[in-house]
Structure 1
């Protein structure tokens, strides 16, 4: 007699590819990225989702309702046709393989996908764009060299998010634009924007801060909405909104 399938959780199942680099790495940015990964898992759960940690490209993904692509080390520049410069750190072919495989499958399956920091850059590369390997200092500080007065490794600035965009919706703005105070900690940025993606938020120095696919629910932000230094409700809101988008997807798909 065949065993009946287990009942599906009422919580949308949100896939999140794990970070493969060890927090014991001498570069402190690796441990920071792993900590931020844990924060994202926590926020997905607190937002009403069921986090599903994905550790290998071959894992079955059919039961997922959405995917979050988190931050981490730099993508191998060879993935967008360049040789790695000296500023690149924690480049991991295994991590690239995992993240790209999950992203490709999710997009092909029509799942909602949210990219954060590295995930934002990865989506641009996956769609055929390029990255700036190391940003020159400009009129906007996008990272701090070290934590300042215990405030975390962030540079803080505001971005205007385009009204009617998917990211504006995550912040409850609907068809209106919204100003978001962001935690910024990146040394890389989107270079050439990929065909098939549109820019929905730009820093005052021209840095691309948000992207989306107008034909499906795929969106990304360069900043860290999960940063602990943000007020608790402000951290939770975009992840709770994304979980609800995934819940709607599951309802339509079923």
Structure 2
């Protein structure tokens, strides 16, 4: 079943799977991820959508798009590895919910946007793998912390490929020029093997895969957090408003 959303005339209905881990968890990253989930819901609403909070993958036929948010680590067994010590908040119910929403949304032809964990989940769903814990390198992807990611964001720039779906979320709309954006980064995992069927549309200076997309359908993902509260309000809202427009166009074409 799903949590009912109050229908709003003319607004696309975008599903987002709820977070199942409690904010009371002693690991502060869990509460932080739940707070970011709330930001995403608010930005979708402010961007012109009617967010629908999903507790199962049922009822997707009534939706116009889906967003896969951040959260804890995927079970590495999903990509053929045993979990390492750095993995945190591995929740099999969350994995099952997110994967079911992603798979059924893609099968239904819905636009899908993955954010952080959602970016990694899409790569795994398509058959790729992840780096379970990134080694420090030339680009800081998280602030140094013994808890692997708790604390303030690391900030760095990424170049987004011209004409890509992700570039379109940041205003290029398929223009010839590439887009460079400063991002809020807080991840300790990354894409390792890029899945067949996905293409890389943004990378960091150290080669970390920062965005992916499916060239055959509207499925895209970013490793960073466009919803980070520290970003200027207009910059936070812009990619969500653009995704809402993608979903609105999809609904109008049915």
TM-score by length of 2: 0.93
1:133 Cα offset (Å): 0.2
1:235 Cα offset (Å): 0.2
How many residues are paired up? 242
1:142 corresponds in structure 2 to: 141
Describe the superposition over 1:182-241 as per-residue Cα deviations: whole angstroms up to 9, x where unpaired: 000000000000000000000010100000000000000000000000000000000000
2:172 corresponds in structure 1 to: 173
Paired with 1:55 and 1:22, the residues of 2 have a C-alpha distance of 15
1:80 corresponds in structure 2 to: 79
Contact 1:14 1:65 in 2 (8 A): yes
1:60 Cα offset (Å): 1.3
Paired with 1:23 and 1:14, the residues of 2 have a C-alpha distance of 24
Paired with 1:41 and 1:8, the residues of 2 have a C-alpha distance of 15
Residues 173-252 of structure 1 mapped to structure 2, 5 A cutoff:
173-174=172-173, 175=175, 176-252=177-253
1:3 corresponds in structure 2 to: none
Paired with 2:241 and 2:25, the residues of 1 have a C-alpha distance of 32
Paired with 1:105 and 1:27, the residues of 2 have a C-alpha distance of 31
1:54 corresponds in structure 2 to: 54
Describe the superposition over 1:134-193 as per-residue Cα deviations: whole angstroms up to 9, x where unpaired: 0000000000135xxxxx620000001000000000000122211100000000000000
Paired with 1:38 and 1:32, the residues of 2 have a C-alpha distance of 10
2:126 corresponds in structure 1 to: 127
Q: Classify the secondary structure of the residue corresponding to 2:74.
A: coil
Paired with 2:88 and 2:152, the residues of 1 have a C-alpha distance of 16
Describe the superposition over 1:44-92 as per-residue Cα deviations: whole angstroms up to 9, x where unpaired: 00000000000123x2111000000000000000000000000000000
RMSD: 1.2
Matching of residue 17 in structure 1 with residue 2 in structure 2: no
Gaps of 5+ in 1: 1-5, 147-151
1:7 Cα offset (Å): 8.1
Paired with 2:33 and 2:70, the residues of 1 have a C-alpha distance of 6
2:62 corresponds in structure 1 to: 63
TM-score by length of 1: 0.93
Larger radius of gyration: 1
Contact 2:111 2:218 in 1 (8 A): yes
